[in-house]
Amino acid sequence: MPKIYYALGLHMHQPPLNLDVLIETNQLEAKQIILSYERAVRYAYMYEDVAFLHIGFSGILLNQLQNPKIIDKYKKFVDIPKMIEMYRCSKNIEILGMGFYHPIFPLIPNYDWSEQLKLGVEIVEKTFGRRPKGFLPSEMAFSMEMIPALKSAGYEYVVIDDVHINPVYFDEKPDCFKPYLARYKGVGISVIPRNCDISQKQAQGMDEKWFLNEVEKKIREYPGSESQRLITTWSDGENGYYFRQPNEKEGFYGRFFVPLLDKIKDKKKSIKMISLSDFINKHPANEETIIQTGTGNISQDKGYDFSRWNGSQQQRDSIKKLYKISRKYRGVELNIDQFDKESKEQIRRARKYILNAETSCYLFWGDAWLTKMNNILDKADMLLQNLG
């Protein structure tokens, strides 16, 4: 077997105001979620010599975690400032960026991409003292058109579901145990394939024996020419009973993480955890790919379209409304210098509402959440009235 490198990733996100709502309405769920964030960094420290984690934080989650009101309400469960400082000082955690409000980029106006990316980079840098090198798309939603915007924001690589990888020069199934290079209009970025099958088991519950056997089996199906193979898995880090399990020994860390790291530490398996940034620096992509537009692979849904977010008429109407109000904002912004201080503040607040409304959760979680999205857009519309 070739040398196997393992990049383990966790996605962390809460929609706007959700931590405050949960602590007031469902303390058990609130406790489970905040403990999930704390466990990730604590276990990384426990295995600092052999473990490596990749954590993608949405900007709006980091914003909530630094809210003094949230810090005070959750202190009976976790010391949030101490937790964040542990992330900040960790040597074996790579922080990835996202769009600040966790938008599905292919479904929002292109005009809004750069600001979502800029705000996402800024809050990661402010919170952890380092700029993110890797980008984790919200809901794994990606299109090739995003590449120039990602590069302009300073990103070096992006994580993509392996089912969307299509090699340019070879008429065969892709080898998803290595990085690729994707180009759009002359701008290139490294692409890291996420193994969909194993990532689903990571979310649902797997032990280290199943994982190691599955990795070896899959790699034998893709022998490749490289002497090193890269397996990348990613799942939500705070959703599902496996991560929220009150008894840590029966959850992700007790059943999978600790046994795996013990075997790695004892050198019983030829697998090594690695930083994605380090891997692509040492083993840069030399084969190009075209990424099929789509979203994350969930269960039987391969993510080839956006129907979970734009499949209903109500969802499509809300997206149409978003585009309409975003265009209205752009028209006002072109003449912003002519407005007085009070009007400029209205424009700023409207902009924040528009970006907030692009949070993917509003489109996903049913009519009640769509109503929230539309109410936020109405607030932006009202602030922009009589300014255009």
Last residue of a domain, one of 244, 262, 291: 291
Last residue of a domain, one of 291, 325, 344: 291
Q: Exposure pattern of 46-71 as b/e (b: 16+ CB <10 Å)? A: ebeebbbbbbbbbbbbbbbbeeeebb
270 and 362 both lie in a single domain? no
Residue 323 lies in a domain: yes
64 and 19 both lie in a single domain? yes
24 and 166 both lie in a single domain? yes
pLDDT of residue 193: 95
What type of residue is 141?
A: A
Nearest to 107 by CA among 299, 384, 280, 323: 323
CA 159 to chain centre: 9
237 and 344 both lie in a single domain? no
Last residue of a domain, one of 258, 291, 324: 291
Q: Which residues contact 371 (CB under 8 A, 6 or more apart)?
A: none
227 and 337 both lie in a single domain? no
pLDDT of residue 227: 75
105 and 144 both lie in a single domain? yes
206 and 352 both lie in a single domain? no
Q: Is the dihedral of CA 341, 342, 345, 350 positive or negative?
A: negative
322 and 278 both lie in a single domain? no
**For 336, phi and psi rounded to 5 degrees?**
-65, -30
380 and 236 both lie in a single domain? no
Q: SS3 letters for 70-99?
A: HHHHHCCCCCHHHHHHHHHHCCCEEEEECC
What residue numbers bound the domain in which 332 lies? 311-384
Q: What is the mean pLDDT of each run of 10 residues along the chain (388 residues)?
A: 88 98 97 98 96 98 98 98 98 98 97 97 98 97 97 97 81 82 96 94 93 91 76 96 93 96 84 96 91 77 81 96 96 88 93 98 94 98 86
Residue 303 lies in a domain: no
Residue 296 lies in a domain: no
258 vs 180: CA distance, rounded Å: 31
- The C-alpha R_g of the chain, in whole angstroms, comes to 21
Number of domains in the chain: 2
155 and 27 both lie in a single domain? yes
Cβ pair 231, 177 in contact under 8 A: yes
Nearest to 55 by CA among 237, 211, 231, 277: 237
287 and 326 both lie in a single domain? no
Provide the pairing of β-strand 157-161 with 134-135. Answer: parallel
269 vs 330: CA distance, rounded Å: 56
Q: Is the dihedral of CA 184, 189, 193, 199 positive or negative?
A: negative
Cβ pair 253, 246 in contact under 8 A: no
Cβ pair 108, 358 in contact under 8 A: yes
